[in-house]
Protein backbone atom coordinates (compact mmCIF):
# COMPACT_ATOMS: atom_id res chain seq x y z
CA UNK A 1 0.00 0.00 0.00
CA UNK A 2 2.86 2.42 0.74
CA UNK A 3 4.26 1.94 -2.76
CA UNK A 4 0.94 2.84 -4.43
CA UNK A 5 0.70 6.15 -2.55
CA UNK A 6 4.31 7.21 -3.03
CA UNK A 7 4.99 8.03 -6.72
CA UNK A 8 8.74 7.83 -6.18
CA UNK A 9 8.63 4.30 -4.84
CA UNK A 10 5.95 3.38 -7.37
CA UNK A 11 8.17 4.52 -10.25
CA UNK A 12 11.19 3.00 -8.61
CA UNK A 13 13.75 5.35 -7.15
CA UNK A 14 16.49 3.30 -8.83
CA UNK A 15 14.87 3.96 -12.20
CA UNK A 16 14.81 7.69 -11.41
CA UNK A 17 18.45 7.69 -10.32
CA UNK A 18 19.38 5.72 -13.42
CA UNK A 19 17.61 8.26 -15.64
CA UNK A 20 19.58 11.01 -13.90
CA UNK A 21 22.90 9.32 -14.83
CA UNK A 22 22.80 10.19 -18.54
CA UNK A 23 22.81 13.95 -17.87
CA UNK A 24 25.52 13.39 -15.24
CA UNK A 25 27.75 11.75 -17.84
CA UNK A 26 27.16 14.68 -20.18
CA UNK A 27 28.00 17.03 -17.30
CA UNK A 28 31.33 15.26 -16.80
CA UNK A 29 32.12 15.45 -20.52
CA UNK A 30 31.18 19.13 -20.60
CA UNK A 31 33.33 19.86 -17.55
CA UNK A 32 36.27 18.16 -19.25
CA UNK A 33 35.79 20.33 -22.34
CA UNK A 34 35.58 23.41 -20.10
CA UNK A 35 38.93 22.59 -18.51
CA UNK A 36 40.47 22.26 -21.97
CA UNK A 37 38.82 25.45 -23.28
CA UNK A 38 39.91 27.45 -20.24
CA UNK A 39 43.49 26.22 -20.69
CA UNK A 40 43.39 27.29 -24.35
CA UNK A 41 42.03 30.68 -23.34
CA UNK A 42 44.84 31.11 -20.82
CA UNK A 43 47.44 30.30 -23.49
CA UNK A 44 45.88 32.76 -25.95
CA UNK A 45 45.80 35.49 -23.30
CA UNK A 46 49.45 34.80 -22.40
CA UNK A 47 50.39 35.04 -26.08
CA UNK A 48 48.49 38.31 -26.39
CA UNK A 49 50.34 39.71 -23.39
CA UNK A 50 53.63 38.79 -25.04
CA UNK A 51 52.56 40.53 -28.24
CA UNK A 52 51.50 43.61 -26.28
CA UNK A 53 54.96 43.73 -24.71
CA UNK A 54 56.43 43.60 -28.21
CA UNK A 55 54.07 46.40 -29.19
CA UNK A 56 55.58 48.66 -26.54
CA UNK A 57 58.92 48.42 -28.31
CA UNK A 58 59.44 49.68 -31.82
CA UNK A 59 59.83 46.68 -34.09
CA UNK A 60 60.55 46.58 -37.83
CA UNK A 61 57.68 44.12 -38.43
CA UNK A 62 54.94 46.18 -36.79
CA UNK A 63 52.36 45.24 -39.46
CA UNK A 64 52.98 41.54 -38.84
CA UNK A 65 52.76 42.05 -35.07
CA UNK A 66 49.48 43.95 -35.43
CA UNK A 67 48.06 41.15 -37.58
CA UNK A 68 49.09 38.57 -34.96
CA UNK A 69 47.45 40.62 -32.21
CA UNK A 70 44.22 40.85 -34.20
CA UNK A 71 44.26 37.12 -34.89
CA UNK A 72 44.89 36.20 -31.26
CA UNK A 73 42.06 38.50 -30.18
CA UNK A 74 39.76 36.59 -32.55
CA UNK A 75 41.00 33.33 -31.07
CA UNK A 76 40.31 34.60 -27.55
CA UNK A 77 36.77 35.56 -28.54
CA UNK A 78 36.15 32.14 -30.12
CA UNK A 79 37.29 30.39 -26.94
CA UNK A 80 35.32 32.79 -24.74
CA UNK A 81 32.10 32.10 -26.68
CA UNK A 82 32.83 28.37 -26.56
CA UNK A 83 33.29 28.56 -22.77
CA UNK A 84 30.01 30.44 -22.44
CA UNK A 85 28.24 27.76 -24.49
CA UNK A 86 29.85 25.03 -22.41
CA UNK A 87 28.63 26.68 -19.21
CA UNK A 88 25.14 26.89 -20.73
CA UNK A 89 25.39 23.20 -21.69
CA UNK A 90 26.48 22.32 -18.17
CA UNK A 91 23.55 24.27 -16.73
CA UNK A 92 21.18 22.55 -19.15
CA UNK A 93 22.41 19.11 -18.13
CA UNK A 94 22.13 19.97 -14.42
CA UNK A 95 18.62 21.24 -15.14
CA UNK A 96 17.82 18.03 -17.01
CA UNK A 97 18.93 15.90 -14.08
CA UNK A 98 16.97 17.98 -11.57
CA UNK A 99 13.81 18.13 -13.68
CA UNK A 100 13.90 14.34 -14.11
CA UNK A 101 13.86 13.94 -10.32
CA UNK A 102 11.29 16.70 -9.78
CA UNK A 103 9.13 15.28 -12.58
CA UNK A 104 8.99 11.93 -10.78
CA UNK A 105 7.88 13.69 -7.57
CA UNK A 106 5.18 15.53 -9.54
CA UNK A 107 4.00 12.28 -11.13
CA UNK A 108 5.36 13.24 -14.56
CA UNK A 109 3.66 16.61 -15.00
CA UNK A 110 6.65 18.48 -16.42
CA UNK A 111 5.88 16.96 -19.81
CA UNK A 112 8.83 17.50 -22.18
CA UNK A 113 10.85 19.93 -20.05
CA UNK A 114 13.62 17.44 -19.15
CA UNK A 115 13.97 16.48 -22.82
CA UNK A 116 14.02 20.10 -23.96
CA UNK A 117 16.78 20.89 -21.45
CA UNK A 118 18.80 17.87 -22.61
CA UNK A 119 18.43 18.87 -26.27
CA UNK A 120 19.48 22.44 -25.42
CA UNK A 121 22.55 21.10 -23.62
CA UNK A 122 23.53 18.99 -26.61
CA UNK A 123 22.96 21.97 -28.95
CA UNK A 124 25.22 24.13 -26.76
CA UNK A 125 27.86 21.38 -26.86
CA UNK A 126 27.63 21.30 -30.64
CA UNK A 127 27.99 25.08 -30.86
CA UNK A 128 30.95 25.08 -28.49
CA UNK A 129 32.61 22.31 -30.50
CA UNK A 130 32.21 24.33 -33.71
CA UNK A 131 33.73 27.41 -32.04
CA UNK A 132 36.65 25.41 -30.66
CA UNK A 133 37.19 23.91 -34.11
CA UNK A 134 37.29 27.41 -35.61
CA UNK A 135 39.74 28.54 -32.91
CA UNK A 136 42.06 25.59 -33.54
CA UNK A 137 42.00 26.27 -37.29
CA UNK A 138 42.85 29.91 -36.67
CA UNK A 139 45.65 28.90 -34.29
CA UNK A 140 47.23 26.63 -36.87
CA UNK A 141 46.87 29.25 -39.61
CA UNK A 142 48.49 31.85 -37.34
CA UNK A 143 51.31 29.48 -36.48
CA UNK A 144 51.92 28.70 -40.17
CA UNK A 145 52.08 32.41 -41.03
CA UNK A 146 54.39 33.20 -38.11
CA UNK A 147 56.63 30.33 -39.11
CA UNK A 148 56.67 31.49 -42.75
CA UNK A 149 57.50 35.01 -41.58
CA UNK A 150 60.40 33.77 -39.46
CA UNK A 151 61.73 31.54 -42.27
CA UNK A 152 61.58 34.49 -44.67
CA UNK A 153 63.30 36.75 -42.15
CA UNK A 154 66.00 34.16 -41.47
CA UNK A 155 66.68 33.65 -45.17
CA UNK A 156 66.83 37.37 -45.92
What lies within 8 Å, CB to CB, of 55 at 6+ separation is 65, 66, 69
pLDDT, residue 10, reads 57
The pTM assigned to this predicted structure is 0.78
pLDDT, residue 96, reads 93
pLDDT, residue 7, reads 53
pLDDT, residue 145, reads 82
pLDDT averaged per 10 residues in sequence order, the chain, 156 residues: 52 72 88 92 88 71 79 92 96 94 86 94 96 92 82 80
- For the beta carbon of residue 133, count every other beta carbon within 10 angstroms: 12
Amino acid sequence: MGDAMNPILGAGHYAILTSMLAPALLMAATASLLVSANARLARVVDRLRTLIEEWKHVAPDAASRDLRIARHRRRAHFVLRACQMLYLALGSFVGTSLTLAIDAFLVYRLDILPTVLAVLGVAFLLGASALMGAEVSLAVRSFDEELDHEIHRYRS
